[in-house]
Amino acid sequence: MEENLVLQRTFSRSGTVALQFDGAGDAYGNDLFSYRHGRVEGRDCLLKTALTPEGARVLRREAEVYDRLGEGRPGFGRLLGFQSARGPSCLLVTRRGAPIDRSPDLVLVPPRLNLVARDLFDALDVLDRLGFRHCAVSAAGVSFDGLNIEMQELGHVQPNGRAEPLQGSALSTPTGLPVDPAPDVLAAARLVHRLATGQGGGKPPAAMLADLERVDPGLARALEPAFHAEPGQSIPAHEVAAELRRSRPAQPPARPDARPSGPGTAPRAATAEHRDDAVHRAAFRELRRRQREARDAVATPAAATAQTAPAGERTPPRPMPPRSGRSVPVPVLTGLIVVLALLAAALLLR
């Protein structure tokens, strides 16, 4: 079902934008919002509508966070427009995939798991540099499209100890939502455990680390400080992301769950396989060429000898091997004939 939406652009840009939203995707909700997946101008989008005044306050905060993020931030969607002055408050953003909790059987394997963990902590680092904590890192607050993660639920953010992000903005208005005291890095490490094992939270950090050790020892070592983070303890997300890169500096892996980015576009892993096949085929052709040259080099002297022989002259046949038995060799027989001829001539002269 298509809807024509007229929305505010952003907090920093005045004016409105008219968009046609095709809401043919998934729809679900909770106590605060309704969620509808659809498309706008060929892009996957999420239309989030507040169901309560508390939800409306959260959406205003979320719109401002998107405004401060700007465009083109890896790990985040882009704000297309929002509405808060009239009608139900809503927010329209580009999106990747669906929330992880809507795919309960989703389990990732190394090294794809490591790459998703890097993206997750890189996104937290972006928020940290803006002065925020996410406060809602969970399978419901992070989306995944088979290749990349994307942070959602940005209306839950809180200042990370500095008051500057809240001055003169919608962020200064309390939402009334409970704030999770757990550090973002701990919540992110728990989510990585969920993606590695398919199991929810509830285990102590030592048990989750043991699970990760069986899946990927390098990943477990990189996330150990995050699993032991406590409220008020400062463990920068960028340090965890850097350790994840050191733990596995390999190239991107094969992506069996990847989707082509357009018609006729192969996944990156398939392209690498084709490139390797081409190298092997080229090496095989070179080996065959060298084998042919070696055969030609052996055959050339014999051919040259045959071509330089005088016209009409034939190569004498090879002598036949002597037959078995008591036959007299030809040289001996010839000698006897010569001796007899000489004796006969001597007798005639006498």
Query: What would the pLDDT profile of 236-245 be if each residue is shown by its tens digit?
Result: 999 999 999 9
Query: Does some domain include residue 349?
Result: no
Count of domains for the chain = 2
Q: Is the omega angle on the peptide bond into residue 316 within 30 degrees of 0, that is, cis?
A: no
Query: Cα–Cα distance between 66 and 46 in angstroms, integer?
Result: 14
C-alpha 214, offset from chain centre: 22
pLDDT (0 to 100) of residue 329: 59
pLDDT (0 to 100) of residue 140: 93
Who wins on pLDDT, 112 or 256?
A: 112
228, 116: one domain: yes
Helices (H), 233-319: 237-247, 268-308
The listed range with the strongest mean pLDDT (106-110, 171-175, 307-311) is 106-110
pLDDT (0 to 100) of residue 344: 67
Distinct helix (H) and strand (E) counts, the chain: 8, 12
Question: 85 lies in which domain range?
Answer: 1-95
Calculate ∠ Cα 262-266-268, nearest 5°. 115
Please state which of the ranges 34-38, 63-67, 209-213 shows the lowest mean pLDDT: 63-67
For 60-100, write each residue's pLDDT tens digit. Answer: 889 989 988 988 788 999 999 999 877 789 999 999 999 99
Q: Which of 253, 272, 307 is the last residue of a domain?
A: 253
65, 127: one domain: no
Amino acid at 87: G
pLDDT band at 269 (very low <50, low <70, confident <90, very high): very low
pLDDT (0 to 100) of residue 284: 44
Q: Which of 48, 63, 95 is the last residue of a domain?
A: 95
DSSP assignment of 107-123 equals: ---TTHHHHHHHHHHHH
* Radius of gyration of the chain from its Cα atoms, rounded to whole angstroms: 41
pLDDT at 335 over 90: no
For 272-315, write each residue's pLDDT tens digit. Answer: 434 444 444 454 455 456 556 655 665 555 444 444 444 444 44
For 189-198, write each residue's pLDDT tens digit. Answer: 999 999 999 9
Query: Does some domain include residue 301?
Result: no
pLDDT at 267 over 60: no
pLDDT (0 to 100) of residue 160: 80
pLDDT at 253 over 60: no
The listed range with the strongest mean pLDDT (127-136, 174-183, 265-274) is 127-136
pLDDT band at 15 (very low <50, low <70, confident <90, very high): confident
Q: What's the average model confidence in pLDDT over 162-185?
A: 72
Q: What's the average model confidence in pLDDT over 20-30?
A: 93
* Stated pTM of the model: 0.69
Query: Cα–Cα distance between 194 and 197 in angstroms, integer?
Result: 5
pLDDT (0 to 100) of residue 211: 95
Query: Cα–Cα distance between 263 and 260 in angstroms, integer?
Result: 7
Query: Does some domain include residue 102?
Result: yes
pLDDT (0 to 100) of residue 325: 47
**Phi, psi angle pair for 21, to nearest 5°:** -105, 120
120, 239: one domain: yes
Give the tokens for residue 140. 């419901």
11, 36: one domain: yes
Q: What is the mean pLDDT of the chain?
A: 78
Q: Which of 253, 284, 302 is the last residue of a domain?
A: 253
Judge whether 89 and 50 are in contact, CB under 8 Å.
yes
Query: Does some domain include residue 328?
Result: no
Judge whether 67 and 32 are in contact, CB under 8 Å.
no
Give the tokens for residue 113. 């798991």
pLDDT (0 to 100) of residue 265: 36
Strand order in the sheet with 142-144: 98-99, 142-144, 149-151
CA distances from 122 to 16, 189, 240, 323 (A): 32, 13, 9, 92
Amino acid at 36: R
Using CA atoms in the order 327, 333, 337, 343, what is the torsion angle rounded to 10 degrees?
-100
Judge whether 265 and 123 are in contact, CB under 8 Å.
no
Query: Does some domain include residue 331?
Result: no
Share of the chain above pLDDT 70, in %: 67
pLDDT (0 to 100) of residue 337: 74
54, 161: one domain: no
pLDDT (0 to 100) of residue 180: 75
Judge whether 10 and 26 are in contact, CB under 8 Å.
no
Q: What's the average model confidence in pLDDT over 153-167?
A: 75
pLDDT (0 to 100) of residue 270: 39
185, 249: one domain: yes
